[in-house]
Amino acid sequence: MPGEGTWWKEAVVYQIYPRSFKDTNDDGIGDLNGITEKLDYLKTLGVNVIWLSPHFDSPNADNGYDIRDYRKIMKEFGTMADFDHLMAEVKKRNMRLIIDLVVNHTSDEHQWFVESRKSKNNPYRDFYIWRDGHNGKTPNNYPSFFGGSAWTLDSKTGQYYLHYFSSKQPDLNWDNSNVRKDVYDIMRFWLDKGVSGFRMDVIPFISKQPELPKLPPATLAHPEYVFANGPYVHQYLQEMNSKVLSHYDTMTVGEAFGVTPEQAKKFTDPRRHELNMLFNFDLVRLDRDDWRKTDWTLPQLKATYTKIDNGSGEYGWNTSFLSNHDNPRAVSHFGDDSPRWREASAKALATMMMTQRATPFIYQGDELGMTNYPFKHIEDYEDVEIRGQWQELVVSGKVPAQEFLKNIKQTSRDNARTPMQWTSKANAGFTAGNPWLSVNPNYVHINAAAQEHNRDSVYNYYRSLITLRSKTPALIYGKYKDIDPANNKVFAYTRTQDDQRYLIVINFSEKQLNYSLPKGIKINSLVLDSGSDHRVKEGATQLVLQPWQASIYKL
């Protein structure tokens, strides 16, 4: 198989959202020392790469995705000495750390922007994207993802600056070679400190459309497909690769909002020397229309997996993830988070997530089957995205408050951002202070302490899956094939490498089912099962599947 033996293909990644992971100084905000404290927990889980969401100096308009100084640590998270200590402790455990590279935009408080806005001829003016208004209005009709226009008028010079996200996140001008040079220096700074690569925030957006023509009406609802298709994105990534990445042993994953599975190869085919893999959004946004929750069916989900798998082609590589800090909790989204089925469905999803031909990314807390938060009022939300949309949609009278609230309860990013549930003690053991965002009240029974020593817990099932994957090359590299795409209750697929053949069967319903395997397929043995008492005979072609049962068989 091409690429066999590549560490970042064999890795299992764990995403940490530091603000919500573990607080060690009682200010209610997670910190770097909290991560260091929990490294043994992660080592025991079996993950070997940590992706750290932004840890840089930031005014936190978007929780660190607005960076003021790329070479400083966010003061709430600690100091550079804390970072160096964390780095050393990660290495001591033979783990690796990748960090978030957020360079489509900076904070408006970054020194480059502070300079840039001073005058039209400031040396940093061209670090950002400034335009005159058009007939007294914004330069074009670009919307911001966080509500309102993507343009803000700056009174100092009377020009508008571009920001795809909040007005506190001005977009950098990558067509300026000085911007690129400075970004590459930042990357080297962190690589030289020992990080093993980057998750790159909205990286396909770095190349803007020449002349910034206005968006035709058909693209207005999903401008990401226009933003991700600027003419120089591949040229810039190749330059970044040759100038920086190729000189280190790195892993790179691009957040590919606006990139279709068909376009993925152009980023990840190693012969093109750009990135290793992408986060494709088609799965996590399967049942989404912007902030609205829509329906999904199992055949649609399966078709998406097949499309993503095909998209990487023979040479490219994929990621597998069901949640992150921008999406609701996996079990609430794709499983059933009611007390009766939460654990079984969380295990079923874990099985699916961990057996794709891709590097798995586990989002903090998903290994415990943490759930969405029971939001009630708009005041319960903290996210800049929700506050912006509330202004644009509800305050303006376009959408009734109840309708908006009903949807965002399921789709809001804050669902995934509530503090990590460590114990059944006050504030889930996350902090001895006042948590920055409310702890999910279900921490009393959903927490790490309760699961670590329970053989049947979601946490220990993840451990088994990780162990199995790391010793089974076919589950990492093997060819992926959906063997029953139309079935709307059962997801069954094979992973094949030479004569090694595995079958994964997942019951996506709360009913017991009799399942006849497609013709020509018979079980050799059971390898791993999400329940405890399932038996299957050698040669079996019929299975009795328990509700939400997930099993891995050898064929």
Range in contact with Ca ion (rule: CB under 5 A) among 17-25, 52-60, 131-139, 213-221: 17-25
Nearer to Ca ion, 76 or 154 (CB): 76
Residue 202 touches which of Ca ion, ligand TEU, none (Cβ within 5-8 Å per kind): ligand TEU
Backbone phi and psi for residue 506, each to the nearest 5 degrees, phi listed first: -130, 125
Tokens of 63: 């929780």
Closest distance of CB 84 from Ca ion, Å: 18
Closest distance of CB 322 from ligand TEU, Å: 14
Nearer to Ca ion, 85 or 188 (CB): 85
Nearer to Ca ion, 24 or 260 (CB): 24
Residue 145 touches which of ligand TEU, Ca ion, none (Cβ within 5-8 Å per kind): ligand TEU
Residue 165 touches which of ligand TEU, Ca ion, none (Cβ within 5-8 Å per kind): ligand TEU
* Residue 467 CB neighbours (<10 A): 13
CA distance 261 to 234: 16
Nearer to Ca ion, 24 or 509 (CB): 24
* Burial class of 121 by CB neighbour count within 10 A (0 to 12, 13 to 18, 19+): exposed
Size of the chain, expressed as the number of residues it contains: 555
Closest distance of CB 420 from Ca ion, Å: 13
Closest distance of CB 385 from ligand TEU, Å: 6
Residue where the block lists tokens 């922007």: 113
The residue at minimum Cβ distance from ligand TEU is 65
The DSSP code for 323 is -
Name which of residues 377 to 406 contact ligand TEU (CB under 6 A).
Answer: 385
Name which of residues 316 to 335 contact ligand TEU (CB under 6 A).
Answer: 325-326
Closest distance of CB 146 from ligand TEU, Å: 8
Nearer to Ca ion, 75 or 247 (CB): 75
CA distance 478 to 501: 8
CA-to-CA separations, 50 to 319, 346, 450, in angstroms, rounded: 14, 21, 23
Closest distance of CB 199 from ligand TEU, Å: 9
* Position among 145, 361, 459, 462 found at the interface with ligand TEU (CB under 6 A): 145
Q: Does 79 bind Ca ion (CB under 5 A)?
A: no
Closest distance of CB 433 from Ca ion, Å: 8
Q: Do the strands 525-529 and 542-545 form a parallel or antiparallel pair, or are they unpaired?
A: unpaired
109 among known catalytic residues: no
* Residue 552 CB neighbours (<10 A): 24
201 among known catalytic residues: yes
CA distance 521 to 452: 37
CA distance 126 to 267: 27
Q: What secondary structure, in 3-state letters, does 257-311 show?
A: CCCCHHHCHHHHCHHHCCCCEEECCCCCCCCEECCEECCCCHHHHHHHHHHHHHH
Name which of residues 513 to 552 contact Ca ion (CB under 5 A).
Answer: none
Total interface residues for Ca ion by CB under 5 A: 5
Residue 102 touches which of ligand TEU, Ca ion, none (Cβ within 5-8 Å per kind): ligand TEU
* Position among 13, 29, 99, 475 found at the interface with Ca ion (CB under 5 A): 29
The DSSP code for 428 is G
* Position among 65, 375, 422, 502 found at the interface with ligand TEU (CB under 6 A): 65
Q: Does 25 bind Ca ion (CB under 5 A)?
A: yes
Helix, strand and coil percent figures for the chain, each rounded to 5: 35, 20, 45
Q: Does 23 bind Ca ion (CB under 5 A)?
A: yes
* Residue 209 CB neighbours (<10 A): 14
Q: Does 62 bind ligand TEU (CB under 6 A)?
A: yes
Nearer to ligand TEU, 162 or 298 (CB): 162
Contact 12, 362 (CB under 8 A): yes
How far is Cα of residue 21 from the mean position of the Cα atoms in its chain? 16
Q: Does 31 bind Ca ion (CB under 5 A)?
A: yes
Comparing CA positions, the residue from 309, 292, 287, 334 lying closest to residue 481 is 309
Q: Does 202 bind ligand TEU (CB under 6 A)?
A: yes
Element (H, E) at 543: strand 542-545
Given 82, 108, 201, 287, the catalytic residue: 201
Closest distance of CB 205 from ligand TEU, Å: 8
* Residue 534 CB neighbours (<10 A): 14
Q: Is 16 helix (H, G, I), strand (E, B) or coil?
A: strand
CA distance 198 to 253: 6
Give strand pairing partners of 287: none
Give strand pairing partners of 152: 161
Total interface residues for ligand TEU by CB under 6 A: 12
Given 23, 62, 66, 255, the catalytic residue: 255
Name which of residues 179 to 218 contact Ca ion (CB under 5 A).
Answer: none
* Position among 10, 27, 109, 382 found at the interface with Ca ion (CB under 5 A): 27
Closest distance of CB 96 from ligand TEU, Å: 21
Range in contact with Ca ion (rule: CB under 5 A) among 16-24, 364-372, 498-506, 544-552: 16-24
Residue 29 touches which of ligand TEU, Ca ion, none (Cβ within 5-8 Å per kind): Ca ion
Tokens of 414: 């804050």
Q: Does 373 bind ligand TEU (CB under 6 A)?
A: no
Q: Does 201 bind ligand TEU (CB under 6 A)?
A: yes
How far is Cα of residue 485 from the mean position of the Cα atoms in its chain? 26
Backbone phi and psi for residue 458, each to the nearest 5 degrees, phi listed first: -60, -45
Which residues would be at the binding site for ligand TEU (CB under 6 A)?
A: 62, 65, 102, 145, 165, 201-202, 255, 257, 325-326, 385
Residues with active-site annotation: 201, 255
Which residues would be at the binding site for Ca ion (CB under 5 A)?
A: 23, 25, 27, 29, 31
